[in-house]
């Protein structure tokens, strides 16, 4: 053991949420804050948006998890990337910026979580961003640390898909993070001047010299220290040396949806039988730890495009590639500075729904993803399509008392019949847009699932054989007041003092879209509640 220091607050995990928590807590110089991050400070690809493809499988910046073999994915074990560096998954993600719907947060509030309605969380969404483009100031922030922009929409392929969507009744909505989510739009992105806006860059870089903040990288937190039902600190290792740090006020666990439940279980907080079976001393029984796992299970429809010059396949090779490199180097534009899926549509599976329930996202190229993403030699587009609020629930649990052993991830996708039904409808809507008249001039032809697959059963069989996640696991330390809730509405771990969880794992349900913006909002709100409780 090398050191034993005391801080007021210890934050475990410097990802989307944890970086925001540490930023806000250390703004008051009286608060001594320790931020522990298992991964390194940075990676040279993490500032380039297209670096996403280079980091997707990179062990230097990624936990590189795999799921258990999944029954409804034909026994396949799915790849589960997670950021492992300052900024966490915000440093490796696809940079799409999506808040979700007002109804997502209103439903959390209706579950009994006071303070989480859309009206309650809206100020935090506004406070965290500087939206550089249009939008209504009632909904959008202009002074926050995170820079958000609209992508370059000048490529004709985007206008063509928007027009095709309009021909089947999906209207253009320039700001899906504003008054209404409905419709098709260019994807807003955590990109500014061609550079990725991770929480490492936006929340940590500007404050790294604060004397009351210590950011410790390459530091794996192995256990929470408990004195009875009170969390007093953490044990962590750096380069093989064990350290302990004590928290005079609180420990905040922000390790993300996979590592946060893992850390609680390693510390004896979870399902007693399971922990005892692994030789872990039970400190606090909490049956919900690791349960309620939700994610998006998304089939990728694939389309060839006969007309030349429209897709990144045409421009990402030979002289085209050189032109793209120059365009990025000189102007921060083109495919290297682009959000991973530049177009998205939020649509309804049937008339009469209060809000959209399906998400479609377009990538203006074909790519092979096995084992690593590689631009395809054929020219075309990829369009993924899935329900936004799946009801299937899985779990994440430790299988060993060793903190370096990855937990078992069982998504249990399509266990709720409604998810299968909605996925089929989403694929059919993708088809209707891609075969609308506006796209005919690009000579579009369906490659996958393939026009010969028509019945619901045929489509769902193809989904099971090919769908992947869109990397949005949430819910494994869910907020609530029922017996499966892990944290309460103040994000305090139920029955343990001095311990909160603040990251995507606290979401009771999946938000309608991508999860980076909601995770940062959770970090912002957690910090506000911690400061409020400290001054009460
Ligand atoms: C490849 C990929 C693409 C994605 N694309 C998008 C997108 O385009 N748009 C979008 O909105 N969302 C996207 N997401 C999802 C989004 O980025 C995440 O939901 C969000 O970042 C989660 O935030 P978090 O704070 O919960 O966890 P993370 O950001 O993952 O942070 C957790 C941090 O804790 C650290 N940590 C974990 N355990 C320990 C420990 N024991 N000790 C110390 N440190 C620890 C991790 O290394 C990590 O840095 C994507 C995710 C991935 C992986």
pLDDT in tens, 208-235: 999 999 999 999 999 999 999 999 999 9
* Distance (Å, whole) CA 314 – CA 82: 30
| Residue of 12, 485, 510 whose CA lies nearest to 293 | 510
Closest residue CA from atom 45 of ligand 1: 13
* Distance (Å, whole) CA 101 – CA 95: 18
pLDDT in tens, 322-331: 999 999 999 9
Are residues 245 and 307 both part of a single domain? no
Query: C-alpha angle with apex 113: 250 to 476, nearest 5 degrees?
Result: 65
Q: How many CA atoms lie within 13 A of 189 on its CB side?
A: 27
pTM: 0.98
* Distance (Å, whole) CA 232 – CA 229: 9
Predicted confidence at residue 373, as pLDDT, reads 77
What is the extent of the structural domain holding 95? 1-150+191-295+395-405+472-536
Closest residue CA from atom 41 of ligand 1: 221
Are residues 479 and 332 both part of a single domain? no
Query: Domain holding 103: CATH number?
Result: 3.50.50.60
Tell me if 62 CB under 6 Å of ligand 1: no
Tell me if 187 CB under 6 Å of ligand 1: no
Are residues 15 and 97 both part of a single domain? yes
Active site residue 66: no
Are residues 65 and 139 both part of a single domain? yes
Are residues 158 and 78 both part of a single domain? no
Tell me if 267 CB under 6 Å of ligand 1: no
Are residues 63 and 1 both part of a single domain? yes
**Which residue's structure tokens are 């060839």?**
304
Average pLDDT of 34-38?
98
Contact 330, 340 (CB under 8 A): no
Average pLDDT of 253-281?
98
Tell me if 491 CB under 6 Å of ligand 1: no
Closest residue CA from atom 48 of ligand 1: 88
Are residues 27 and 101 both part of a single domain? yes
Are residues 332 and 432 both part of a single domain? yes
Predicted confidence at residue 456, as pLDDT, reads 98
Pocket probe for ligand 1: among 83, 96, 214, 221, the residue whose CB has the most ligand atoms within 8 Å is 83
> DSSP assignment of 516-534, as one string?
HHHHHHHHHHHHHHHHHHH
* Distance (Å, whole) CA 261 – CA 477: 6
Is pLDDT at 40 greater than 80 in this prediction?
A: yes
Q: Per the structure, how many domains does the chain have?
A: 2
Q: What is the mean pLDDT of the chain?
A: 96
Closest residue CA from atom 37 of ligand 1: 255
Pocket probe for ligand 1: among 49, 78, 88, 221, the residue whose CB has the most ligand atoms within 8 Å is 88
Query: What separation in Å is there between the alpha carbon of 121 and the centre of ligand 1?
Result: 20
Pocket probe for ligand 1: among 39, 222, 257, 516, the residue whose CB has the most ligand atoms within 8 Å is 516
Tell me if 72 CB under 6 Å of ligand 1: no
Query: What separation in Å is there between the alpha carbon of 167 and the centre of ligand 1?
Result: 37
Q: Residue 90 to residues 10, 144, 208, 368, 520: CA-CA distances in angstroms?
A: 21, 16, 18, 23, 9
Q: What are the two backbone dihedrals, phi and then psi, of residue 368, each rounded to the nearest 5 degrees?
A: -100, 140
Q: Is 4 exposed, middle or buried (0-12, 13-18, 19+ CB in 10 A)?
A: exposed
Is pLDDT at 314 greater than 70 in this prediction?
A: yes
Are residues 158 and 146 both part of a single domain? no
Q: What are the two backbone dihedrals, phi and then psi, of residue 238, each rounded to the nearest 5 degrees?
A: -130, 115
Are residues 35 and 145 both part of a single domain? yes
Tell me if 471 CB under 6 Å of ligand 1: yes
Is pLDDT at 405 greater than 80 in this prediction?
A: yes
Is pLDDT at 1 greater than 70 in this prediction?
A: no
DSSP one-letter code for 390 = -
* The token pair that represents 313 in the structure block: 């396949």
Are residues 278 and 129 both part of a single domain? yes
Query: Domain holding 453: CATH number?
Result: 3.30.410.40
Query: What separation in Å is there between the alpha carbon of 283 and the centre of ligand 1?
Result: 27
* The token pair that represents 264 in the structure block: 């609680």
Q: Residue 213 to residues 28, 34, 238, 246, 373: CA-CA distances in angstroms?
A: 10, 6, 18, 15, 38
Closest residue CA from atom 9 of ligand 1: 96
Is pLDDT at 2 greater than 60 in this prediction?
A: no
Query: C-alpha angle with apex 502: 496 to 507, nearest 5 degrees?
Result: 100
Closest atom, ligand 1, to C-alpha of 88? 49
pLDDT in tens, 336-377: 999 999 999 999 999 999 999 999 999 999 998 777 778 899
Pocket probe for ligand 1: among 256, 343, 510, the residue whose CB has the most ligand atoms within 8 Å is 256
Query: What separation in Å is there between the alpha carbon of 87 and the centre of ligand 1?
Result: 8
Are residues 445 and 344 both part of a single domain? yes
Closest residue CA from atom 18 of ligand 1: 516
Predicted confidence at residue 372, as pLDDT, reads 76
Predicted confidence at residue 409, as pLDDT, reads 98
Predicted confidence at residue 3, as pLDDT, reads 65
Closest atom, ligand 1, to C-alpha of 52? 1
Query: What separation in Å is there between the alpha carbon of 313 and the centre of ligand 1?
Result: 29
pLDDT in tens, 443-476: 999 999 999 999 999 999 999 999 999 999 999 9
> DSSP assignment of 167-216, as one string?
HTT--B-S-TTTT---EEEEPPBSEETTEE--HIIIIIGGGTT-TTEEEE
Contact 435, 444 (CB under 8 A): yes
Is pLDDT at 98 greater than 70 in this prediction?
A: yes
pLDDT in tens, 81-96: 999 999 999 999 999 9
Average pLDDT of 275-285?
98
Sign of CA dihedral 458, 459, 464, 465: positive
């Amino acid at each position: 053991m090398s050191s034993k220091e005391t801080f007021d607050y210890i934050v475990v995990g410097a990802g989307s949420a944890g970086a925001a928590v540490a930023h806000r807590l250390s703004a008051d110089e009286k608060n001594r804050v320790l931020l522990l991050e298992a991964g390194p400070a940075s990676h040279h690809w993490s500032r380039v948006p297209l670096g996403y493809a280079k980091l997707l499988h990179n062990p230097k910046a990624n936990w590189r998890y795999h799921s258990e073999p999944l029954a409804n994915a034909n026994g396949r074990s799915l790849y589960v990337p997670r950021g492992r560096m300052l900024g966490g998954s915000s440093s490796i993600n696809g940079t799409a910026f999506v808040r979700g719907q007002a109804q997502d947060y209103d439903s959390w509030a209706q579950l009994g979580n006071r303070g989480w309605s859309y009206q309650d969380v809206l100020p935090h969404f506004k406070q965290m961003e500087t939206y550089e483009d249009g939008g209504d100031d009632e909904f959008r922030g202009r002074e926050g640390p995170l820079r958000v922009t609209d992508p370059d929409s000048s490529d004709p392929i985007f206008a063509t898909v928007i027009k095709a969507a309009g021909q089947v009744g999906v209207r253009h909505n320039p700001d899906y993070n504003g008054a209404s989510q409905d419709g098709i739009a260019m994807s807003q992105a955590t990109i500014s001047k061609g550079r990725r806006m991770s929480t490492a860059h936006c929340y940590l870089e500007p404050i790294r010299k604060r004397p009351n903040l210590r950011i410790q990288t390459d530091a794996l937190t192995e256990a929470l220290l408990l004195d009875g039902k009170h969390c007093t600190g953490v044990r962590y290792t750096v380069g093989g040396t064990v350290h302990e740090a004590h928290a005079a006020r609180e420990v905040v666990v922000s390790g993300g949806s996979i590592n946060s439940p893992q850390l609680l279980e390693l510390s004896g907080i979870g399902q007693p039988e399971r922990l005892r079976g692994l030789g872990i001393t039970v400190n606090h029984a909490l049956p919900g730890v690791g349960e309620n796992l939700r994610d998006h299970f998304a089939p990728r429809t694939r389309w060839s495009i006969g007309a030349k010059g429209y897709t990144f396949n045409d421009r990402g090779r030979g002289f085209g590639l050189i032109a793209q490199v120059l365009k990025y180097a000189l102007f921060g534009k083109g495919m290297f500075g682009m959000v991973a899926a530049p177009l998205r549509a939020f649509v309804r599976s049937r008339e009469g729904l209060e809000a959209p329930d399906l998400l479609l996202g377009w990538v203006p190229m074909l790519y092979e993803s096995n084992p690593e993403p590689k631009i395809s030699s054929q020219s075309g587009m990829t369009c993924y399509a899935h329900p936004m609020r799946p009801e299937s629930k899985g779990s994440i649990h430790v299988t060993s008392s060793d903190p370096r052993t990855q937990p078992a991830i069982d998504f249990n996708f399509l266990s709720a019949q409604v998810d299968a039904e909605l996925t089929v409808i989403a694929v059919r809507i993708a088809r209707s847009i891609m075969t609308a008249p506006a796209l005919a001039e690009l000579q579009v032809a369906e490659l996958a699932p393939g026009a010969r697959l028509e019945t619901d059963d045929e489509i769902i069989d193809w989904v099971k054989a090919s769908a992947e996640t869109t990397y949005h696991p949430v819910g494994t330390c869910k907020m609530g007041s029922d017996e499966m809730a892990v944290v309460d509405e103040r994000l305090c771990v139920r029955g343990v003092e001095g311990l909160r969880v603040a990251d995507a794992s606290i979401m009771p349900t999946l938000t309608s879209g991508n999860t980076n913006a909601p995770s940062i909002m959770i970090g912002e709100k957690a910090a506000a509640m911690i400061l409020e409780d400290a001054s009460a």
